[in-house]
A and B are shown apart, each in its own frame.
Chain A
Amino acid sequence: MNKEKKRELLLPGDIIEEEDCRPGRGTYKKERNIYASKLGVKTFRSGYVNIAAQRGRYDPNRGDKVIGTVTDLNPSIWMVDINAAFSAILHVNDVPWRVEFGDTISYIDVGDAILVKISNVDELKKVQIRMDEEGLRKLNSGQIIEIAPSQVPRVIGRKGSMITMLKNYTGCRIFVGQNGRIWIDGDLEGQYIAVKAVQMIEEKAQAVGLTDAVKEFLKNETGKDFDQEE
């Protein structure tokens, strides 16, 4: 990994000057050159050069865990809004219950929030999701807030440092969906502080020493100090 101190922002149409790389996400190839197709910074992974988009809607990826809300249902499927360009489809075979034909409504209703995994995205961008794996479920309590999908890595932090800290200080259960939806559940006081902290992360995502600033904020708000206990 190259570690330049400040990364260069690429704009749509900018040439990516890299050799021996294949064009990955957020790029396109034309006449032997690779160009950026989105506003973002370049990253490398297994021989591909990608653009990590700084802006834009959630782009569904197989294997992502996301938080969706049910918008419609029929006897055998639920339509789920996952904050992407298209609604995702949840089929009765992909839920942890045995659902009789036509009985979908008694399990998940319109407006319910669910934690799901993207099982497939086809060429037509039809998204299939599943809920029959460990940890995937209906979200019955707590609240959901939304941030820009590009800021998700910041809320999670390096090796999950930020999210672990949030959980420890607020005592809340928190899940960050790759689509920018964050589920927070716990006592009201903790929820309130967690929401504030996430807003702070989103606002000051660029700030140097963000983790420390958030820790300071959490210490002040909660009156806890995990540094001294250690």
Chain B
Amino acid sequence: MPDALLLVSLVGLPFAAALIAGLLPSASRNLAAGLAGGVSLVCLALVWAAYPTVSAGGVLRAEFAWMPTLGLNMVLRIDGFAWLFTGLISGIGALVVLYARYYMSAEDPVPRFFSFLLAFMGAMTGVVISGNLIQLAFFWELTSLFSFLLIGYWHHSAAARDGARMALTITATGGLALFGGVLVLGHIVGSYDLDVVLASGDLIREHPLYLVALVLVLLGALTKSAQFPFHFWLPHAMAAPTPVSAYLHSATLVKAGVFLMARLWPVLSGTDEWFLLVGGAGLITMLMAAYIAIFQNDLKGLLAYSTISHLGLITLLLGLNSELALVAAVFHIMNHAAFKASLFMAAGIIDHETGTRDIRRLSGLNRSMPFTARLALVAAAAMAGVPLLNGFLSKEMFFAEALTAETQMHGLLNILPFAAMLASAFAVAYSLRFIHGAFFGPDPVDLPRKPHEPETWMRFPVEILVLTCIVVGILPAATVGPFLAVAVQSVLGENVPYYSLAVWHGFNLPLLMSVVALALGVALYMLLATRLRRGLDWPPLFRGLEARRIFDRVMVFLSWRMARRLELIFGTRRLQPQLRLIVGAGIIAGAAAIWAGGIGPGNLGASPVDPVLALVWVVGAACAIGAAWQAKFHRLAALILLGGAGLVVCVTFVWFSAPDLALTQLTVEVVTTVLLLLGLRWLPKRLPDAKGVAGGVEGGTEVMTLGRRIRDLALAVGAGGGLAALSYAVMVRTPPDLLALDFLARAYSEGGGTNAVNVILVDFRGFDTLGEIFVVAAVALTTFALLRRFRPAADSVEVPEQQRDQGDGAAGAVMTGNGEWRPGSDWLLLPFTLTRLLFPVMLVVAVFLLLRGHDLAGGGFAAGMVVAIAIILQYMIGGTDWTEDRLRLRPPLWLGGGLLIAAGTGLGAWLFGRPFMTSYFAYAELPLIGQVPTASALIFDIGVFMLVVGATLLMLVALAHQSVRAHRAAPPREKPPAMARRDPAPVAAAAGEG
């Protein structure tokens, strides 16, 4: 099998399977478990297939271009060390899946569980076989994310949510630091490729930025491996389902930290800083966590602290700056994975079959579940370091290292052997507590469930793991010897020291230390046994130092108190100050640019003033100022003035040779005005005198208001003056050619159209237009969704006065069946007839505009607007009911169809092997009509057209319907009018208010 395929499937398969598992129905527990188990076994087979290469000292490597311009490639590589880890991940993964199949209750959404588990497996594999540091950091964060999801799987429980959040906060923050560290490393070395980095050890260690890189990388590694002072997230992660704990805390998540430290060991270690930081953290963690573990009353809590302690041991070994210690660390990583996974599973079995994990309530399970008891006993003995089990071997190596470690700081070294012995004694004590507390003593009383042996297959993974512990413990050299050698060699290269994996090394100091530690541990447990049985909430000496409480306090301070304070100082929830700041900042930025860069006179003289345009703009300016003046009390007037200003803009476009713009501006203007008119109906009445009186009573507010107005006026004048000066400065300079020339030159020859603007929109920059119409569609749908839930304010519900005037008793009005007045049938008769006549004409105009768009002014957008205007005109004059009786509009269909056509045209290019949105054109010769452009851009434009029709109608009709709805809902009469003829248009109602 080619390397690349193997490597990609190793990472990709779990992710793909996660996706599939996530889509399975939530009751399909067996199917999801089968999928997960199958994938882990396939991965295990793949790992095995890589063994021949790896054992020969080779490296499997695959490289894919990612951002070649930056020298970044996706690199997957497996050397011996990564191979060992992939083996642990997929091997223990398969066992955990089998275990989880029986552990998880059928009521839980199990496929989701397996989906997360698989994704986590993929992310973890990604971490260990990444050959690029940035890629490694990426997968690293993915493991944080998926472990968050796994820990919070039972999201109905607050403990699970809090635990998951805490784990994510700590490990993802660490991941961020790691990313920073990786960037520094890349900066030092000049490459992110792992192989290059690993070959530059001396360069890194002697670089001035070494300490920065080291601290950042260690922040990542130590948070992940739950080392002091970041250890506290791990016990809270025990809220996860037990299979998750067994997986995350034995072979995977927390091992990622020690994996990274070992991976970068050749380049980062060997300095005093490394010894102090890594060794110090490991030493403190190992002792402290082992001590706390003794006093845990929860089986999983005990295992959690024991995990922290063992990780501390591994970290300490890595910190000793000795090759032999590294060998011991790698060996212990494997051993710990085996016995800790089996112990977690055993704890899960006890929990599953008895309903509790509280050591104080459990007792004498040896009789009801003898087989599980034996298995747990062996695994716990391995954890305690009893001879003939795997834990003993690596512990012996650790003791030997503690005795022989060398560094300049001798003071620390003197306490090392004693610390090692003490931690080992603690380990014996908590292992004894686990076994003795749960399995020995009198029969348990009053357990939630009657204890019994679990299903055979649930116990099977534990059996495999315990068997491993025994076999490795008895025959280390023959079983794990080769694997360990391969792993160690890939880290150390030629510097692999001599080590012996024998069980018996003769009577020496490490053996003596083991014996002392065993004796000490047993004595300690016997001393504490009765007190522990009574139960302590928290270990003595550490009562005030619960890290979780400190963490909570910090989080509250950071995310609540400090955030609130900063918000009070720097933030506001009021819109006006925000806008003021933005406008002010804009003015200052513009002024600063002019002040810094200077601004000279342009190279073009001003062209002579045309009196007609000047007059037009006098009107335009008057309209704008009038609109600003009247917008508060005379909304209708302001709206009309706004329309006037819009028309002036439109005239300007025509004047300066932009027919397309004028056309679009005109149609948009009409639709905007209608929209705003429809909205007027729902705004509160505001009369000038009411405000005047209120202001007059309190003189202070008036002064404040006046001050605010002067300030706003200054801002407005500043912004207006600034933009005027800026546009003048721009206009008196020769515009740069930029792309214009290119577009002009190619519009016909390559786009097949003579209207360059349209060709740019539908062809050259068609992708932009596609994005734009998606925005329009999104806006229309949002509008529609918002209006479905629209509840008008209380004072807008009544039928407005103006509408009533036209109803009750007015000339020609008729009374409907339920006593409601409706305008008579001859109401607005003349416009009504005219609009009906205009309707087909407008549709023809629209089609005309659409078809000629590519060559002449027009295009899908303007055409769509014209259709929308034609239809809304019928609504305005004929009324909602009348129009909808005769026209079946399906705006959503138009909208969706338009999007599909436009996007489909773009995708169509793929069928011809061209890039997305490539267009095609030709001129077809039709009899009578002549040359007709048949560009694929036309189809695209038809999509735009349909979308614009759909979106505009959706918005307008949704808004117009509000009036009808409120109408019917408002008066509490018996029934809504079933036969309302020509419902008075909402616009007519709205227009009256102002």
Do A and B share a complex? no
Interface residues of B, Cβ cutoff 8 Å to A: none
Interface residues of A, Cβ cutoff 8 Å to B: none
